[in-house]
Chain A
Amino acid sequence: METIALIIDNKKISCPPGTSILEAAQQNGIKIPTLCYHPDLKPFGACRLCLVEDENTGRLMASCVTPVAPNMSIRTDSPDIKRHRRNIVRLMMAEHPESCIVCNKGNRCQLRAIAAQLGIGETKLYSMPNYKPLEQANEFIVRDLSKCILCGKCIRADHELVVVGAIDYNHRGFISRPATVHEQPLEKSNCIFCGTCVSLCPTGALSPKTEYYVGTPERESRSVCGFCGVGCSVTMGVVGDQIAEVSPSHVRTSVNGSTLCVRGHFPHEFLKAERLTQPLLRKDGEPAPASWEESLEIVSTRILDIRKQYGPQSVAFIGSSECNNEEAYLFQKIARVLVETNNVDNPRAAYTQAVLRRIDEKTNGRCRKNPLARLENGDAVFILNADPGEMNTVASFYLKRGSRKGVSLVMANPVRTELTAFSSAFLEIRPQSEFELIKGIGALLYEEQATENGCASPEMQQRSLFSDTDLDKVCQAAGVNMDSLKQAANVLRGKKVSVVTGDEIMLAENGAETVNALLELMAMTQSLGKEDTGFYVLAKACNETGAYDMGLLPDALPGRQLLSDDSARKHWEDTWKVRLSPDQGLSAVRMIEEAEKGNLKALYILRENPFEILPDPDRVRKALENLDFMVVQDIFPGELTEMADVVLPGAAFFEKGGSFTNMEGRIQVFEPVVSPPGEARQDWEILGHLTAKLGHSEPYDSVEKIKQEIARVIPMYSEDGRTYGDWIR
C-alpha cells in the first residue's frame, strides 16, 4: 500500500495518504493539544489549538484538518507555535467567565487543563465575558453558554452521531452560540436529551443537572448500563457511595461509542428511589427486619419441606431478564438441580425469546451474533413493527446514521415514528398484518428474480411461501396500497437486507410464521448469516438474550438447548450429576393458574413484578395469596414485597459484578461500581448462600466461580473465550 513519509518533531513517520497530521502524530505518541477534535466526529478545525508548523515553508496549519503530504517537516511545539497557542487560549479565557471555582466540570475541563499546561493564569487582556442566561428548566441538561468556546462538538454530535438536528450555530462572530431554532429552550426543541453533547463538551457549558454533587466525582468506574438490551458501556462518577453522574465509557470498541440515551445518561429517579436495605421476615402477619442467616435458613427449610410434602412440582421460580447471566444460571440451577423442578421462567422477555428461538431453530444457531454496526454500514434494513427510537435508542442512532450514509430503510409500522422520516419507504400497516405484508414484499421480489433467471431455479421453487401470493389480498389485509408496496419492494430489490423487529410481531396468532417469513425473505435476498447483515430483535430488558442462553425457561436448558432433546438433557445430567425430568416445567402464566388451584405451594420471585407483566393483576394477586410460601428478592419495596413471607434485598446492576449478553449477542463483563445500600447484597451472593443451604456441596463464594462454570459448561459461552477474561468488555 502507498504510504507517505514525513517528519514530525524530528521523528520519521510514514502513514497512509489521507491521514491528518494530528492522527499521524497521535499514532506515533506525539501529543498535540486539541479542543474541538474528537475521533468519532469529522474534523472541524474550529479551535485552532492543534496548530503545527511546516519547517520547509514556515506555514502554520491546523493539524486536525490538514492531511499529511510527502516531505513535510512538521514542528508541533516550536516557540512560535507555543506563542500562537498561548494567544488562542488567552483569547478564549478572556471571553470566559471567572467561574471555575463553582463549575461542575471541575478538573475535567479541557480548557482549564490546557490553560494550566500553557501556564496561563492571567490573560492580561481586557476581560469580555459574554454572559448568557443559564438554561436549566429541563430536568437533564444545564446549559451555561457563557462558557461555550464554540468548538462545535455538541453540534456535530447532534448532527453526526445521534442525527437529531436540534442545535446549530446561530448568528455570527462574538454572539454566535450553539442554539435551537428561534433560540427556544431545549425542552421546546426536538432535542431527545441523550446527553451525548454533555459528555463531549470540553468546558462547563453543558453539564448534567445533578442534585447530589457539584464538581469532579471522587472516582470513576466502568459498568454496563442495565436500562435496555443494548448494554451501553458507561463510566460512572462516584462520590462516597453515591453515583453522581453517568457518561459513555472511553472504550473505543463499545456498542455505544460516544453516545448514550436519556435513560442511561440521567438515571435520577432510579438513583433516588427508596430501596430495600435489609431482609424482611413475616412475623405475626407483619414483615419485620431479620438477619440474613435467619432469612436464608427459613427460605431453604420451607422450600425443602414443601418439596418433601407436596413434591418438586409444588415449587416454582420466576426469574427476570434483568438478572445478569451468573444470577440467571444459578437461579435455574437451584430449581433444576437442588429442587429438581423445571418450574422456572422469565416472563418479561417471553415474546422476544420466542422470536430468538425461532431464528435459532431455523438457522441452526448461525444467527446469534448481530453487531449493530452492520445497520450503519449495510445495504438495506427492513424495520417491521418496531420502534427502536423508543425501545433501544442507541440502536436507532445506528439506523439514522446508516440512513444518512445511504443505507435504505424500509419501515412497516402501525404508527409513524421518529425513523419514518429517515425511511426510503414507509408502510403504515394494520396491526398484526405483518405476515401478509412480508408475503407481499417477498412475492414482488420473488417474481422479479424468477423472471430474471428465465425460469425459477430449483432453489427458488422451494421458496413456495412467496410463489403464489395474491397481492391485492395482501394490500387489503395490511391496509396499504399497491404502489407503496411496490415502492418498498423496489427499495429492497437486489440488496442485502437486515431485519429489525420487536417482540410485538409475536402478538399476532401467526407470530411464529411471521418470523419464518422474515427469515425466508432474508434467505431469498441472500442476506441470511452473512457478514454484513443481521436479524435484530429489540430487547427492552438488559439481559433478555442472556436469560435465554442461561436456560431461565421452563422448557429449555442452558446453551439454548431444549429440555425435550434427549442428548442435551443427558449432557446436563452428566454435568450436574442429577436426574432431569424431560417434562416441561410451568410457565409463569401456568404457575399462577396452578397457584389458584392450590397445586403450587411455594414461589420464589427474583427481580420481577408479576403484577406488571402478567395479565389480570387482580387474578395474580389472589393466586399469590393462595401460596403457602413466597420469597421475593428485589431492590425496590412494593406491593409484592408486602405480600411476601421473606424479602431478600438485592443489588442494582451497578452494585454488582457479572455479565450481560446484549441484543447483539455480545457478552459484557462488569464489576460493581458501589456497594448495595444497607445490608442488601449482590444477588449472586444471596443465591450462592442459598445453594449451600439447599445442600449444594461446592460453595459459590465468588462471582468469578460462577462465570468459570458458565464458560466451562455452556458451549456458546466457552466459544467466546476459554476464560471469561476474553469475554468482551
Chain B
Amino acid sequence: MAAVNPPASEIGGLQEETLQSRRAVGGEGSGRRSRLSPLRLARAVVLVGVVFGAAAGLILTIVFGLAHLLGIGGTEWVGLLNIVGVAFILVMMTATLLIVAERKWSARMQNRVGPSRARLFRNEKWAFYGIPHLAADGLKMIFKEDFVPPGAARLVFSLAPVLAFVPAFALIAVVPVGPDIMAFGTEVRFQVARIDMGILFIFAVASVAVFGATLAGWSANNNFGMLGALRAAAQMISYEVALALTLVGVIIVFQTIRLEEIAAFQDGTMWGGLIPAWGIFFQPFALILFLAAAFAEVKRAPFDLPEAESEIIGYFVEYSGMKFGLFMFAEFIEIVALSALIVVLFFGGWSIPWVSHEALQSWLAIDVGLGTDWAALAAAFVGLFAFIAKMMFFVWLQMVIRWSFPRFRYDQIMNLGWKALLPLSLVNLVVTAAAVVLDPTLSLALAIGLGQAFLLIVVIISADSPKRGMMAAAQHDHPQEVSCST
C-alpha cells in the first residue's frame, strides 16, 4: 500500500534508533539480528503457538460455548455465531494486525526497525512489536479530512470503498475453518454459510470485487485514478478466467464444489496411509497457477499495476481518511481470505497430516481419558489450531512475495495471464480429467500430481541463474520498451 512507505524524516528517525539500540546492546553489536540462537527460536515458537492457541480457543468458546448456552446447536443460527467467531475474530483481527505486520516484516526485509514509536502509556518497554500503531493509524484515518475532489461523481465516490470492502469480507463465508463437532448434545460447525454453490460463490463474489477498484478510479475525476481503474479492470477480468480454470482441476479430483466436503475429504489418506489426501499432492501445478492468478486478483506486488505507487499512485489516489482505510483494509482481508482458501483447497483445511479427525478424537477420548465430549472439543481445538497455523503461514508467504519481487510491466501482466496461465490451466484441466476418468480411485491422479511436484522442485532448484527466469525472458523479448501505461 502507498501508506506503508514512511516519509523520509521517519526513516531517518528509525535509522537513528537502530543505531542507538545497537549501541545500547553493546557487546552483541550489529550481529544481533543475524544470529538465531536456539533460545530465541524456541521463544518465538512458543509465543506464536500461544497466540494461535488463544485465537483457536476464542473461536471455540464463542461458537461452541454460545451455541451450547443458547441451545441453538445444529440450527442455522450457528452461522450467525460463526459470523462473530470466524469472520470478526479470525479474519478481522488478523487483517487488522496485518496493517502493522506488513510494515514490520517489510522493515525486517530491508534491515529497518519499522514502526516502533507508538507505545502504551509512553513506556519505553511497552512497544509490543509495534502493535500500538494500530491505535495511531485508526485515529489518523478517522480524524483526517474526508475530502471529495471537485468534479467527482459523489455517490459512486462514496460507494466505491464499500464495494471494494464487502466482497473481500464475504469471501470467508463459505470457508470451513474447523471440523464439525458434536459435544454435550450440541452440534456446531465452524463455517458461516453451508451453501450448495461452494466454490461458485467464491468465484461470483471475487468477480464483483472488480467494481470497487474500477469505480473508485473512475469517480474521482483524476487521470491517474482513471489509469489505475482501467488497469484494475483489465487485470482482474483477465486473471479471473485463469483463477476459475485452475480450480476446476481441484473440483474434478474432489468431485464436489462444496468446501466443507473438500476439507473433509482431505482429512483422509491415500495409498494405504502413505500420503495425506491433500490437494497439493493431487494438483501441485494448479497450486502454482492458482497462486499467481490469486495474487493478481488481490492486486498486490508483483501484480500491483492498478496501484503502482511509484508511477500513478493508483485507483484510490483521491481518497483520504477512512475511505482510503477501507481500501487498505479490504486488501488485507483479501490476503487472509485467500490464505484460508488456499489452505482449504490445497493444504487439507483443518486436518493434520496422517491423523484423521476420528482417530484423534477416539485417541483423546480413550487413551488420554478425556471422555467423549471433552475429546470432541479438544479435537476441534486441534483442528482450529492447525487451520490458523496453516493460514498464517500463507499470509506470511504473501507478505514475503510482496516485498521480494519487482512490479511486472503491463504487457508482461497481460502475456502472463492470457498466454501462460490460461493455456497451462487448460492443460492441467485436461490431464486431471483424463487421470480421474481412467482411474476413479484417484491413484493415477495422485501419481501424476507427485510427478508434477517432483518436476517443479527440479525446475526450481535448477533455476539458479536469474537469466532463466520468466521476467528475464520477457525483458529479453522487449529490451527497448519502457514501462507502458494502459
Q: Do A and B bind each other?
A: no
By a beta-carbon cutoff of 8 Å, the part of chain B in contact with chain A is none
